[in-house]
Amino acid sequence: MTNLYVGNLPWSTTEAQLRDSFAEFGEVSSAKIIEDRETGRSRGFGFVEMENGADEAIEALNGKDYGGRSIKVNVAKPKRESRF
């Protein structure tokens, strides 16, 4: 399983749209748009977990136009431990 970071998403992107965009490359386990805790609005990035096809998705989608924006797609880095 590979967790992908997807950045520079249009604010209007839904999790279903994100899932559909990656599904053509392999099996998507989950798709999550990160939202602002205060407002509930999209922060313009998300994560997609894929069972397979992650390399193909990165190759095909990184730097491509998505809703008028050039998206960034790469393997997500592990979450850092909080320093506090």
Which of 16, 17, 72, 27 lies closest to 53 in space, CA to CA?
27
pLDDT of 78 = 82
Which is it for the CA torsion 36, 40, 42, 45, positive or negative? positive
The answer to whether residue 81 is domain-embedded is no
CATH at 55: 3.30.70.330
Enter the pTM of the model: 0.89
pLDDT of 13 over the 90 cut: yes
Give dist(CA 52, CA 54) in Å, integer. 6
Q: Which domain holds residue 21?
A: 2-75
Give dist(CA 74, CA 15) in Å, integer. 18
pLDDT of 83 = 60
pLDDT of 23 = 98
pLDDT of 82 over the 90 cut: no
The answer to whether residue 83 is domain-embedded is no
Q: pLDDT of 15-74, one tens digit each?
A: 999 999 999 999 999 999 999 999 999 999 999 999 999 999 999 999 999 999 999 999
Number of domains observed in the structure of the chain: 1
